[in-house]
Amino acid sequence: MRASGILLPIFSLPSRYGAGDLDSEAYNFIDRLHEAGQRYWQVLPIGPVNKEYCPYQSGSGFAGEPLLISLERLRDKGLLSDQDLAPFDSAVITWEERMERRRELLKKAFRVFRGKLSEDEEAELHFLAFCRMEGDWLDDYALYSALAAYYDDGDWSLWEEGLRDRRTGELAKWSVMLSDEIQFYRWTQYEFFEEWDRLKRYAHAKGVELIGDIPYYTAFESADCWAHPELFQIGVGNEQGFEAGAPPDSFTSEGQCWGNPVYDWSAHKAQNYDWWIRRIRQQLRFFDVVRLDHMRGFESYFAIPYETEDPRDGHWEKGPGMELFSAVKEALGECRFIAEDLGYLTDEVKDMMAQAGYPGMKVLQFAFDTSEENVYLPMNYDTDNSVIYTGTHDNDTTMGWYEKAEEWKKRFVSWYLREKAGLSDGAAQPDEIMDPATAVKGLVELALSSRCELSIIPMQDYLLLGSEARINVPGVAEGNWRWQMEEGAFHEKLAAAIREATAIYNR
């Protein structure tokens, strides 16, 4: 069934508290999606972020990011007061200061929550039941997070040897020493899961389903890597044996080091891929559809020796391929996946994609780099089992991309939209270059009109925003993951226009 949706990370919602969260703005956005006739809201990963707030360098493959917890909802539950939220009204508080203030208020809310448990037996039983039910990952996550806070460093390879190697006596000793902090991190997950489940139910009631990402790799500084080093290629002394990256190519002559430890797939196979199955099951609890990041890595991945961190020393290794997906299907049944199959794909990757049958991705910003034979041009699609995007979180906004494009590429876009897609530009001459706003609107319409079953448009493209609204610049470590939509930007008039276009193209 043809459908459409909008891509907007949770942290990009408007908020006076720093990054966007699960407060009223999330519900307002769902209302607007419903008014706009959209059936999907795609977000990025919602796991714990690193110090640069990158959701693809997560501290857990199972937990939710505590900073997404709604302060307003904590206030409504009596865990915070209006006075606690008042300092955020000051215009002189920076984004970073707001985020630090959020952390402090989460700890205050936990102290109030803990004090109330002794008076509310039902609430205590509910909290303890959650901790037991999620204990297979929650205990490790809470202890790891408490230790990382104590050491002010999540690099567990630098912790004292007994903790680094997870010796039973040391773990027991520190579990007692840091018991309050451990309970705090358990509570953040209890609160996050409750808020997320509430949001998901609201979305479903409005006819909106949620799409989320599962990063291919996890961070070295993560509870998973610390608790299960046997599942990663970590060398002697618990230092990374190999890290993930990309070889030198036409885009980066020296290659790329990503910093993530690569998997020991033989160890995963010996456990019948239990960690991956549990991880995917968790993401399917959060989302209706899961986007599988870096799909080609499941067929083969690039491993770089940690001792050199030189991509030129790296080599390709075989991944689990269909064996993993068969194990997932056997354990979880049919799962709704989107495969991130962008970039150069070998015949082996194409075969794996065909066997899996998951819809791949088509990105229009990639469609005008070469000639009319470009596989990302809609007229060349050989299947409707795809999801079409104008751009992704790693791309510039379509406005920013078009404004920076060479003249020949702008002419290519303008010609294609007029001559091949039949999208008129008023009284413009056939060889004239479209102005940026007209081109962006045309590309959005092109995505909606394509044969792909699902069309996803980044919110910035509906808002006609330029590079100032870009979410991420790959390869740049700082300054990403900060963009937020202005309050009221997704207004009724825009929702009505989106709904009209959606109806025209039967989505």
Distances (CA, A) of 494 to 32, 37, 80, 392: 9, 12, 35, 21
Distances (CA, A) of 108 to 376, 400, 492: 51, 42, 38
**pTM value surpassing 0.85:** yes
CA distance 418 to 424: 6
Which value, to the nearest 10 degrees, does the dihedral of the CA atoms of residues 123, 124, 128, 134 take? 30
- 150 close to 179: Cβ distance less than 8 angstroms: no
Q: Which of 288, 293, 317, 403 is catalytic?
A: 293
Q: Which of 25, 221, 224, 340 is catalytic?
A: 340
CA distance 266 to 274: 12
Closest C-alpha to 46, from 285, 387, 362? 285
Instruction: Give yes or no: 394 in active site.
Output: yes
CA distance 202 to 225: 34
The DSSP element (H or E) to which 458 belongs, if any, is strand 454-458
Q: Which of 84, 309, 317, 394 is catalytic?
A: 394
* SS3 assignment, position 304: strand
pLDDT at 15: 95
Give pLDDT < 50 ranges for the chain.
none
Closest C-alpha to 29, from 500, 497, 489, 502? 489
pLDDT at 236: 55
CA distance 341 to 321: 14
- 449 close to 390: Cβ distance less than 8 angstroms: no
Cβ burial of 437 (10 Å; 0-12, 13-18, 19+) is exposed
CA distance 505 to 503: 5
pLDDT at 97: 92
pLDDT at 425: 63
Please count the other Cβ atoms lying within 10 Å of the Cβ belonging to residue 257: 18
The DSSP element (H or E) to which 111 belongs, if any, is helix 95-117
Phi, psi of 498 (to 5 degrees): -65, -40
Q: Which long-range contacts (CB under 8 A, 24 or more apart) does 20-25 make?
A: 20/484, 20/485, 21/67, 21/68, 21/69, 21/70, 21/71, 22/68, 22/69, 22/70, 22/73, 22/195, 22/196, 22/199, 23/70, 23/71, 23/72, 23/73, 24/72, 25/487
76: left (phi over 0), alpha (psi -120 to 50) or beta: alpha
The DSSP element (H or E) to which 339 belongs, if any, is strand 337-339
DSSP H stretches of helix in 11-94: 24-35, 71-76, 82-85
110: tokens are: 């936990």
